[in-house]
């Protein structure tokens, strides 16, 4: 029973860390203390995320799991619907409705488009999970500036996707270094532009430094990095994600 239950949850363990980190980023950037709103946003985003696996099984038509897939689709959909309605009642606004809908579309895209490459699937997934940050902010601030929320979403997505390019260096044995360098340079440039335009809080410098230092270390110790087991790299990336949240919090407390 436990094994069957486990099969209906997404198997990408790193994605759970991204989901949690994105939620924590939302709490930190909101500058609020709204436990009720934060809890609802976590339930909503977690339910939408967990919908991916049963939807995939249902679409693929696996005979042994279709009936159970329907049960979990109904369960997670009900949780998402209830928490979404409570959020709308708490602070009515169109953004609260748009954000989870975009997340559903992205999740459904991952579940149905098996022809996507692993890197594209990962990027779509991380971009979708990054929506948890603006959703969490909205759960506490109904009158948030939409443009700034979009800027925060872009930054958080860039932050998480940076790990994909580091992992690609490991998988390709160094052949994807140029692409990774271009990505990180672009990330720094976009972040600098958004900060100078007052669309991002200066605190975003903290997580940016975390991923920049991580990437520099990967370049400096590339040969050793290329021999590390993927599982251990996944653990390292999880630590980097949580470190980004931690240093952002420390920066804001000063």
**pLDDT for residue 95 is more than 70:** no
* CB 71, CB 31: distance < 8 Å: no
Tokens of 48: 């939408």
Place of tokens 């940050």: 133
Q: Please give the mean pLDDT across all residues of the chain.
A: 82
Portion of the chain with pLDDT greater than 70, in percent? 77
Question: And the tokens for 96?
Answer: 């609260």
* Residue 77 vs residue 195, higher pLDDT: 195
Q: Encoding tokens for residue 88?
A: 């709308």
User: Are 21 and 243 in contact, with CB atoms under 8 Å apart?
Assistant: no
**pLDDT tens profile 23-64:** 999 999 988 888 888 998 899 888 888 877 776 666 665 545
pLDDT at 31: 82
pLDDT at 211: 95
Q: In this structure, are residues 84 and 100 in contact, taking their beta carbons and an 8 Å threshold?
A: yes
Q: How confident is the model at residue 1 (pLDDT cuts 50, 70, 90)?
A: very low
Q: Which of 104-113, 133-142, 213-222 has the lowest mean pLDDT?
A: 104-113
Q: Residue 187 has what pLDDT?
A: 96
Cβ atoms of residues 56 and 111 within 8 Å: yes
For the entire predicted model, the pTM comes to: 0.85
Are 127 and 99 in contact by the 8 Å Cβ rule? The answer is no
């Amino acid at each position: 029973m436990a094994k069957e239950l486990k099969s209906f949850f997404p198997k990408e363990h790193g994605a759970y860390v991204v989901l949690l980190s994105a939620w924590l980023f939302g709490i930190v950037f909101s500058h609020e203390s709204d436990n009720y709103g934060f809890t609802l946003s976590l339930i909503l985003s977690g339910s939408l995320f967990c919908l991916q696996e049963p939807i995939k099984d249902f679409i693929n038509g696996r005979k042994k799991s279709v009936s159970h897939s329907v049960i979990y689709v109904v369960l997670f959909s009900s949780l998402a619907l209830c928490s979404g309605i409570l959020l709308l009642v708490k602070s009515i606004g169109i953004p609260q409705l748009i954000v989870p809908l975009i997340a559903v579309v992205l999740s459904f895209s991952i579940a149905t488009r098996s022809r996507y490459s692993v890197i594209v699937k990962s990027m779509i997934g991380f971009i979708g999970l990054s929506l948890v940050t603006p959703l969490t902010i909205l759960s506490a601030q109904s009158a948030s500036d939409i443009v700034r929320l979009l800027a925060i979403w872009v930054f958080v997505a860039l932050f998480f996707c940076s790990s994909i390019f580091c992992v690609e260096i490991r998988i390709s044995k160094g052949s994807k270094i140029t692409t990774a360098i271009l990505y990180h340079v672009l990330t720094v440039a976009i972040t600098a532009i958004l900060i100078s335009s007052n669309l991002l809080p200066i605190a975003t410098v903290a997580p940016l430094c975390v991923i920049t230092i991580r990437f520099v270390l990967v370049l400096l110790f590339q040969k050793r990095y290329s021999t590390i087991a993927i599982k251990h790299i996944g653990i390292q990336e999880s630590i980097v994600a949580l470190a980004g949240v931690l240093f952002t919090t420390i920066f804001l407390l000063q």
